[in-house]
A = this chain, B = another copy of it.
């Protein structure tokens, strides 16, 4: 039984992490921290936890962290996280960081994309990228895991085998993505006000979404050659879930059966990847850590349909999967039920 702290326990990814840990038989939540104004009983922030979790959210205290936790799941936002992670590490806990701060290897690229100085470059080389289906070997034994972004998780799992096997052109890839509104976080704002967002769907971040360089880096790391994707996200009036429809130009003769074989070859033993033979439905992965994939060839393109729950495989579930790996627990613990 490992002991787990959540740093930044007031947002949707923390909430989802808590729910997963309540089902986890070999991990125990021991410590929740947040900004002073968000402290108090966790049930005041998340009333749905009444009767399920009796913990206070407290201001972070490194001594207490050190005493009470083996692993810290750091749910702080981008830019804030890198102020805390070095302290968490120095307190002697392993860290799975949900933010983007340790995902991009190249500090300069990070700074260009996120428009802030990277203030913890010392720990960048220490961070491993936490996409187990592609980089499991690196994750084992790590003490700092950069948990992937939601969109990149789905896109990269689809594209990595196709690029590795040189089935598709690396510079002609279109990722049309649609996310539920929880992807925008828990801060109230007019575009996400219920009467505005309900029964609505729109594209955003045209040509500029921060997940684009992350996807390119994952694919380059995995395949050894650079990739350059066109990634276009949309948001829709659904609570949770991401659908990505990915269009690629094939470099060889390929058909649906061979694509199915390819994915079975790469992911057939993966507990959280499901290879389908019809397009996946968003609701079938809601509240799960699964990635559903259906690939086919049509109109001269390789077209792949994939779905994940942005809060689970796209955040909290994958973080627990990483936590399991670095804590030498069964990788699926807490995540299949």
- Residues of chain A at the chain B interface (Cβ within 8 Å): 12, 19, 22-23, 25, 47-48, 50-52, 171, 174, 176, 178, 180-182, 184, 186-190, 192-204, 206-207, 228-232, 234, 236-241, 243, 245, 247, 271-272, 274, 276, 279-288, 290, 296, 298-301, 303, 305, 336-337
Question: Measured between alpha carbons, how far is A280 from B48 in the docked complex, in Å?
Answer: 10
The minimal Cβ–Cβ distance linking A79 to chain B, given in whole angstroms, is 22
Q: Are A201 and B301 also in contact (CB < 8 A) when A176-B245, A283-B196 are?
A: no
In the complex, 25 of the A-B residue pairs with CB atoms within 8 angstroms, ordered by the A residue number, are: A25-B25, A48-B288, A51-B272, A51-B274, A52-B288, A52-B336, A52-B337, A171-B300, A176-B245, A178-B234, A178-B236, A180-B195, A182-B195, A186-B190, A186-B196, A188-B189, A194-B197, A195-B239, A199-B283, A200-B281, A202-B279, A202-B280, A231-B299, A234-B245, A236-B236
Question: Measured between alpha carbons, how far is A200 from B192 in the docked complex, in Å?
Answer: 15
Query: Chain A interface secondary structure, helix, strand, loop or mixed?
Result: mixed
Is the beta-carbon distance between B299 and A207 smaller than 8 angstroms?
Answer: yes
Is the beta-carbon distance between A23 and B181 smaller than 8 angstroms?
Answer: no
Is the beta-carbon distance between B181 and A178 smaller than 8 angstroms?
Answer: no
Instruction: Name the CB-closest residue of B to A52.
Output: B336
Is the beta-carbon distance between B188 and A190 smaller than 8 angstroms?
Answer: yes
Question: Measured between alpha carbons, how far is A283 from B52 in the docked complex, in Å?
Answer: 15
Q: Are A285 and B48 also in contact (CB < 8 A) when A188-B193, A203-B279, A245-B234 are?
A: yes
9 closest residue pairs by CB, A with B: A230-B299, A207-B298, A203-B279, A23-B337, A194-B197, A48-B284, A202-B281, A200-B283, A22-B337
Q: Are A283 and B48 also in contact (CB < 8 A) when A195-B12, A337-B22 are?
A: yes
Question: Measured between alpha carbons, how far is A141 from B23 in the docked complex, in Å?
Answer: 28
